[in-house]
Chains A and B, each alone.
Chain A
Amino acid sequence: MAATKTRISSFSRNISAVSAPQLPGIKCGPNGTFFVSSGIPDLDKILGGGFALGSLVMIMEDAEAPHHMLLLRNFMSQGLVQNQPLLYASPAKDPRGFLGTLPCPSSSKDEKSRNHDTEQEKGLRIAWQYKKYFSENIDDHKDSKQEFCNDFDLRKPLERHFYSGQRVDCVSIKDSPNPATLHDRCATFLAQFPRNDGSFSCMGRIAIQSLCAPQCELSNMDWDILSFIRSLKSMLRSANAVSIITFPPSLLSPSFCKRWQHMADVLLSVKAIPDEDKELGKLLTGYQDMVGFLNVHKIARINTQVPMILEATTFSIKLQKRRFIVLECLNQAPIDGSSGTSYGTSGGCSGSSKSGALDF
């Protein structure tokens, strides 16, 4: 037997809880992973906590509607609000202009009114003498929740000071002859956040929009782009960062599309909702409020072999009060065709469809 200090038992204590984060935007996940917020509270819940640090998220766009931009904007804003440097690449000539469209976190008054309804209903179920303890939990929960994930108000633009200055690096991929420039920028960016076994000095986010868009010369370089993605993924594994890549799958050949999908740790797709589709309207409740669909194809399994099976993989994207993105499970409309209110789906996501309604 070797006299070294290697552990023989397969039981390993999770020591990462100690170093968890002094950084507000990171929380501990299972199996030694850490989560950062996607910027959309419902999406964090669906994914089991958020985006795993070091993972590559891919969003498949729908050519008919720019819903992937909703996810991208919230992701970028969330990072900026938490002081995380951002690298943004897009096929636009001047990507910096896009930063002006990023949403601002909503003021706390709005946020409390949104969460309070559901919390109050839960409160009714608690016997009166315990209510004081429960309300304390709500406050604590909300405070820590605010630090980790914000509710973004799509109608308010992000304050300029968040993205001016050195914290945001923008790259245009429009005229790049090959992915090398983008690759080098990503490499220099990620070199700022090396992962050193649990200590967090800072973390960063990379957002790459429409990577194989037709207006870029890159779109003809199938293998070069794949090489770049693979390289980015390996760099992410040794850095404290998360990256989102959006791409239009219809522009790739089916075989390459599958290759991209296999490279992703988290794979999402967005779909537009046809306007005034009467059949769909009869089938689903709340159809008029829906903006699009979000499909969850794959969830990151870092450091584990167990797949995460969701109760539902398709969610409707709605804009609550035209300001906040919510993701809801799809519910079938009552058979008689009258729309009415959906069964307790306010703010819920992949939970049961009966949450919130008091059935006697």
Chain B
Amino acid sequence: MENRALNLLEEALGLGYQTDPWPLRGKVVLIEDCVETSGCFVLHQLLKRTLSSQSPNNTVIFLAFSHPLSHYDRILRKLGCNLVAQRENGRFFFFDMLKLLCPDEKEERNGKGGFISLYWKIQNTIRALPENNKNHATIMIDDMSLMEVAAHGSSDHVLDFMHYCHTLTSELGCSLITLNHEDIYTSMERPAFMLQIKYLVDVLIKAEPLATGLAADVHGQLTVLNWGFCNVKGSSNNKISNFHFKVKENSVEYFYPGTRT
């Protein structure tokens, strides 16, 4: 339907070569960013792409720890995707987790309880999907560092939750896309949590500022590390891409350094 050229991000993720099966199916994608450069726009782009009309079987389960639905709705509208309509069509499920808190007086059971019930909710939602869509679900999380805050610092509970979600990727072919703030963990002495998460990850997208500082025309650089990238010929290899980006209201421009006129 759409024969437009792929942008650099879509190329790096292999999103153009095939629409069925969805290239990110069964994969875990981690988006990393820092205080200086926010990576949330990548999440918005992937959300829009997943819900696009090219792949009508895709559904998205969005766990929002950071912003309410109105925020995403406004942004995605400008990108050309109506979240409210998709929600009514049963393709978009928004779990508002802004107030999810595991009470601190009760012990680990309840701390875990919050995440366990969340996992069951997700699993039940997927199981309730129509037959065609069951294997095309995408779970999106914004963002993982807030999950740790909700768990009151018990990274183990968050790790367990991520492992549970990972089983969904291998059993049901779901995708798991999550945003995390990498600069929180690089300042830790022993970032065990991040190391374990990275072990699960198939695609890593890092948003960083330019080494030269701020610029109005270039907002930062993206590095995409795609293990198990399937190219046109069908063979699998690792692919690393690096390019610059500029975020606009209704799109994001990606370009190689020095190619902007």
Please, what's the 1-or-0 string for A217-228, where 1 marks a CB less than 8 Å from any CB in chain B? 000001110110
Instruction: Give the distance in Å from the alpha carbon of A186 to the alpha carbon of B74 in the complex.
Output: 28
Residues of A close to B249: CB separation below 8 A? 304-306
Q: For residue A341, which residues in chain B have a CB less than 8 angstroms away from its CB?
A: none
B219 x A309 contact (CB < 8 A): yes
B248 lies within 8 A of A226 (CB) = no
Is the CB–CB distance between A306 and B68 below 8 Å? no
Say whether A237 contacts B98, CB under 8 Å: yes
Which residues of B are found within 8 Å of A8, using beta-carbon distances?
A: 82, 85
| A230 touching B71 in the complex, CB below 8 Å, given contacts A10-B82, A305-B41 | no
B200 CB within 8 Å of chain A: no
Given A2-B89, A259-B184, A262-B145, A307 contacting B82 (CB threshold 8 A): no
Report yes or no: B74 in contact with A304, Cβ–Cβ below 8 A. Answer: yes
- Tell me the complex Cα distance, A153–B36, Å: 34
Q: For residue B43, which residue of chain A has the nearest CB? A: A305
Which size class do A's interface residues fall under? 35 or more
Contact with B along A294-311 (1 / 0, CB 8 A): 000110011111110110
* Chain A positions 222-277 with a Cβ under 8 Å from a chain B Cβ: 222-224, 226-227, 230-231, 234, 237-238, 253-255, 257-259, 261-262, 267
B152→A10 contact, CB < 8 A: no
Kindly state whether residue B38 has any CB partner on chain A within 8 Å. Answer: yes
Query: In the complex, what residues of B have CB within 8 A of residue A255's CB?
Result: 184-185, 187-188
Q: Are A230 and B150 in contact (CB under 8 A)?
A: yes
Residue of B nearest to A235 (CB): B99
Partner of A262, one of B184, B214, B247, B250: B184
| Interface check B129, CB cutoff 8 A | no
Whether A223 and B152, one on each chain, are in contact in the complex, defined by CB atoms closer than 8 angstroms, is yes
Closest Cβ of chain B to A236, distance in Å, is 11
Interface membership of chain B positions 78-116, coded 1 if the CB is closer than 8 angstroms to chain A and 0 otherwise: 111110110011000000001101001000000000000
Distance of B163 from chain A, by nearest CB (Å): 22
Q: In the complex the two chains form, what is the Cα distance from A230 to B99 in whole Å?
A: 8
Min CB gap B9→A, angstroms: 14
**A305 cross-chain contacts in B, Cβ below 8 A:** 40-41, 44, 75, 247, 249
Q: Please name the residue on chain A nearest to B153 by beta carbon.
A: A223
Interface centre among A226, A234, A237, A261 (most CB of B within 10 A): A234
| A201: B residues at CB distance < 8 A | none
8 A-B residue pairings within 8 Å (CB atoms): A4-B88, A227-B104, A227-B152, A231-B101, A255-B185, A258-B184, A309-B216, A309-B219
Beyond A254-B187, A259-B184, 6 extra complex contacts between A and B, CB < 8 Å: A2-B89, A7-B82, A8-B82, A255-B184, A307-B37, A309-B216
